[in-house]
Amino acid sequence: MISITRDDFDVNAVIDRVKRPDMGALVTFLGVVRDDGIEVMELEAYEEVAVKELETIRDEAFANYPIEAVEIIHRIGKLQVGENILLIVVGAGHRSEAFSACEHILERIKQSVPIWKKEIGKDGERWVPGESSGDDA
């Protein structure tokens, strides 16, 4: 599943949905809003294009890594510190393939998916340049 949503997601439910007996590894990346002096993070997306780009990234991962499953969920809207932003789950026969594919997916999301973040704090607000999904997410 590829999803852009305003709703939070259940990490364990996604893992359970992906898990299959032929997979020896499930690697997850969970990006959350970090407390680095902000009060709120606002994420905006060009949703139609973002979903298509996430699908392209997923397809690239399948083409370049021996993996069995990929799920990506990215939230938009106003998020508080500690809230989930991004979930990537990759299933594969072995851990090295799953880790490599997950890292590739994350880096590609940061490079090319049209999702922008604005940090809002006591001292005002600022759009964060350079990465669509944040520093760690």
d(CA 16, CA 122): 40
Q: What is the β-pairing status of strands 2-5 and 67-75?
A: parallel
Residue with tokens 């590609």: 108
Angle at 53 between CA 74 and CA 128, to 5 degrees: 55
Average pLDDT of every residue of the chain: 93
Average pLDDT over residues 89-101: 98
92 falls within a domain: yes
131 falls within a domain: no
Phi, then psi, of 66 in degrees rounded to 5? -80, 75
What's the total number of domains in the chain? 1
d(CA 90, CA 71): 7
pLDDT tens digits for 17-68?
999 999 999 999 999 999 988 999 999 999 999 999 999 999 999 999 999 9
The two structure tokens encoding residue 95? 């851990």
Burial of 61 (0-12, 13-18, 19+ CB in 10 A): buried
109 falls within a domain: yes
Domain coverage including residue 115: 2-123
Tell me what pLDDT residue 66 has. 98
Report the CATH number at residue 117: 3.90.1170.40
116 falls within a domain: yes
136 falls within a domain: no
State the pTM of this model. 0.92
128 falls within a domain: no
68 in Cβ contact with 107 (< 8 Å): no
Determine the length of the chain. 137
